[in-house]
Structures are given as structure tokens and as C-alpha cells.
Amino acid sequence: MVITAQQEALVVSSWNEMKDDAPTFALKFFLRLFEIIPSAAKRFSFLRDSTLPLEKNPKLKAHAMGVFVMTCEAATQLRKTGKVNVGANTSVQHLASVHFKAGVADVHFEVLKFALLETIKEAVPYLWSEELKEAWSESYDHLVVAIKNEM
Ligand code: HEM
């Protein structure tokens, strides 16, 4: 198995601590991505067309939340089946096509991972450890590799 039962448990238990404020944390890691790579915001059609401040944009929050939830769920899928399953409403091929057409690049995925891990560290400092970091990293990496393999 690519993820151990202990890694899955670390992801799920920290998620349970964060889930009530998950949309806020998710938005935070995307804003961090845009701080580091401001041009990444231009990849989103709904940000190019919007006059709303980034932090008030409901579509940005929804995308950010999608990334957070899918990363968390990947831990369980990987442990159970060894593979990522992005759910019944979409497919890895579709996600690859959307991200490819939007010009999302490796560096965006890399910096988003850094921002995700930083945000988790700040959200649950009392749970933070190298093992927790590794568990979320593994989950995220497998999800992103699955998408990038189809891009
Ligand atoms: C769209 C997931 C990382 C930019 C989407 C959608 C999902 C998704 C579910 C909606 C697809 C649809 O239209 O049906 C993910 C996951 C990620 C990830 C799981 C990482 C694990 C990123 C990153 C960027 C990004 C790093 C960088 C800027 C976009 C853009 C769209 C999109 C531009 C199209 C939005 C639009 O203009 O309508 N993503 N995403 N995504 N994502 Fe991501």
C-alpha cells in the first residue's frame, strides 16, 4: 500500500480537528499560493472576470475547499485501494484536461503543496510532526501525480 494505516489515521484525525474551519484554511493556502506566485490567480477564469477581492470570491473558496477535501479523501482511497479516486462527479482525466487548458504548471502544484502544509502546521500546531507532514504530503503527491499523468 502506498499509504499506511497510521498515515491515513494522521490525515483523518487532523482533518477532524480542522474541518469546522476548513473553508477558511483552504482559502488561506490559496492566498498563500497567490502571494508567492501572483500570476497563478490569472489561471482562474472567474478571477480574471471578477472585481471581488480574492478572499471574498465564493468560487475560489469552493476550488480551495475541493483541493483540501480531495487531498484528505485520497489518504483513505490510497490505503484501501492503492489508487486515487476523485469521486463520482468527476474524473482524473477531466481534472487533467481542465488544468492543462488553464495553463496550470508543475510549479503551481509544488507551491500549493508548500502552502497547504504551512497552513496545516499553523492550524493544528499541537498535532504537527514530521509524520503528519509526510502523511499529508504523500496524499497530495499521489493526487497530483494522478492528475499530472493525464495532462
Ligand atoms: C479547476 C481540483 C490544483 C487551478 C479545478 C476543479 C477541480 C480542481 C475539482 C473543477 C473542475 C471542473 O471544472 O469540473 C484541483 C485539485 C488540485 C488542484 C484536486 C490539487 C491537488 C490546482 C492548482 C491550480 C489550479 C495548483 C493553480 C493555479 C485550477 C483552475 C481551474 C481548476 C484554473 C479552472 C477554473 C475555472 O477557470 O473555471 N481544480 N485543483 N488547480 N483548477 Fe484546480
Asked if this assembly's ipTM is beyond 0.90, the reply is: yes
Q: Cα 29–34–39 angle (5° rounding)?
A: 150
| Helix or strand run (H / E) with residue 72 | helix 58-81
Which residue in 121, 145, 119, 130 sits closest to 32, CA to CA? 119
* Residue 63 Cβ contacting ligand 1 at under 6 Å: yes
Q: Please tell me the residue having the least CA distance from ligand 1 atom 22.
A: 109
Q: Is the pLDDT of residue 35 over 80?
A: yes
**Mean pLDDT of the region 17-32:** 97
- Tell me how far apart the alpha carbons of residues 96 and 104 are, in angstroms, rounded to a whole number: 10
Q: What is the pLDDT of residues 41-94, one digit of tens each?
A: 999 999 988 889 999 999 999 999 999 999 999 999 999 999 998 888 889 999
- Residues 6 or more apart whose CB falls under 8 angstroms from that of 18 comprise 25, 120, 123, 124
Q: Give distance in angstroms: CA of 126 to centre of ligand 1.
A: 30
- The pTM score is 0.96
Q: What is the pLDDT of residues 98-130, one digit of tens each?
A: 999 999 999 999 999 999 999 999 999 999 999
108 is written with which cell numbers? 503551481
Going from the C-alpha of 121 to that of each of 25, 49, 87, the distances in angstroms are: 11, 33, 27
Q: Give distance in angstroms: CA of 68 to centre of ligand 1.
A: 11
